[in-house]
Homo-oligomer: A and B are copies of this chain.
């Protein structure tokens, strides 16, 4: 049922579509969508929806393909069929062919673990993305990236004055790559508010603490000073408020008094890897919705 790379392999030639919807909650939404799809002989293989009583918003994700006995319609044909429903409920509606992978730019500084993990999983056909390019303010990880056949863009900025040009280079790369997602895989530069705003919902960061604890720099050292018994990592959408963006995923690992701050760093890496990879996978599979300062995630 998963629309992951692994499973894709065994899916027949019939295209599989992912429909996502966001609108105000109301009676009849599911009925209208399901009836439209059923009338087109579409077979639903996975569907989740959620109405948030706090915000009054409704979120839905449905995966379907043409039934074996039916004619497979094109994306635009399905889109046209759904248009009356979209209008009726004022929906933000997207329809994706699951075979068209989200194009992604990864940004990294010197810590290689998240980059290595994402590239390996992508290379093993386990992350349904296309890695278009890697951007870095250091040249350290060029060999790793190029081994995977991915272009490596090294743009340092050793003075504050050089920052705007560096960020412009990142913007240009995202545009030139036709990327729909920027992943900050331990990228130790703060993006400008303008770029954060422009990438709203299209930029995921991994913060190496259990947010909202230990925002800012050196979170493992802050955690050690506070004497916590678990350390965590948080993948979140980037917003202009540093480390305040909507949380997509979090996890933790146990520590004790015998672990110094360096051990926290080491143990935390496994958690960062897993948390960031999950967030990227779910986002690429269109499972993640912003819901104000929170997210709706139809996990898998």
* A interface residues (Cβ-Cβ under 8 A, vs B): 1-2, 4, 6-7, 10, 27-28, 30-32, 34-35, 37-39, 41-54, 67, 112-113, 116, 120, 124, 126, 143, 147, 210-214, 225-230, 232, 246-252, 256-260, 262-263, 265-266, 269-270, 273-274, 277, 291, 293-297, 299-300
CB<8 Å pairs between A and B, sample of 18: A1-B258, A2-B260, A30-B34, A30-B44, A34-B35, A50-B258, A113-B124, A210-B210, A211-B213, A212-B228, A226-B294, A227-B246, A227-B247, A227-B293, A229-B248, A257-B295, A259-B300, A263-B300
Query: A273 vs B43: C-alpha distance in the bound complex, in angstroms?
Result: 37
Could you tell me the distance in whole angstroms from the C-beta of A152 to the nearest C-beta in chain B?
15
Contact A263 B2 (CB under 8 A): yes
Contact B42 A51 (CB under 8 A): no
What number of copies of this chain does the assembly contain? 4
Q: Which of A126, A266, A295 has the most CB of B within 10 A?
A: A266
The residue that A113 contacts in the complex, of B120, B228, B296, with Cβ under 8 A, is: B120
Q: With A35-B34, A124-B112, A227-B246 in contact, is A300–B258 under 8 Å at CB?
A: yes
Return the 3 tightest CB-CB contacts between A and B, nearest first.
Answer: A227-B294, A31-B34, A28-B38
Contact A42 B30 (CB under 8 A): no
Q: Which of A2, A30, A211, A259 has the most CB of B within 10 A?
A: A30
Q: With A47-B30, A116-B116, A213-B213 in contact, is A252–B230 under 8 Å at CB?
A: yes
Query: A126 vs B37: C-alpha distance in the bound complex, in angstroms?
Result: 39
Query: A1 vs B42: C-alpha distance in the bound complex, in angstroms?
Result: 29
CB closest residue in chain B, given A28: B38
Query: A269 vs B124: C-alpha distance in the bound complex, in angstroms?
Result: 12
Query: A118 vs B118: C-alpha distance in the bound complex, in angstroms?
Result: 15
Contact A31 B27 (CB under 8 A): no
- Chain B residues whose CB sits within 8 angstroms of the CB of A7 once the complex forms: 260, 262-263
- Chain B residues whose CB sits within 8 angstroms of the CB of A124 once the complex forms: 112-113
Contact B291 A257 (CB under 8 A): yes
Q: With A116-B120, A258-B50, A294-B257 in contact, is A4–B229 under 8 Å at CB?
A: no
Could you tell me the distance in whole angstroms from the C-beta of A227 to the nearest C-beta in chain B?
3
Contact A27 B42 (CB under 8 A): yes
- If A7-B263, A27-B42, A48-B48 are given as contacts, then 8 extra A-B residue pairs at C-beta distance below 8 Å, sorted by A number, are A1-B260, A31-B31, A34-B34, A226-B247, A227-B295, A228-B247, A256-B299, A259-B300
Query: A41 vs B249: C-alpha distance in the bound complex, in angstroms?
Result: 36
- Chain B residues whose CB sits within 8 angstroms of the CB of A293 once the complex forms: 225-227
Q: With A4-B266, A257-B297 in contact, is A38–B27 under 8 Å at CB?
A: yes
Query: A290 vs B1: C-alpha distance in the bound complex, in angstroms?
Result: 19
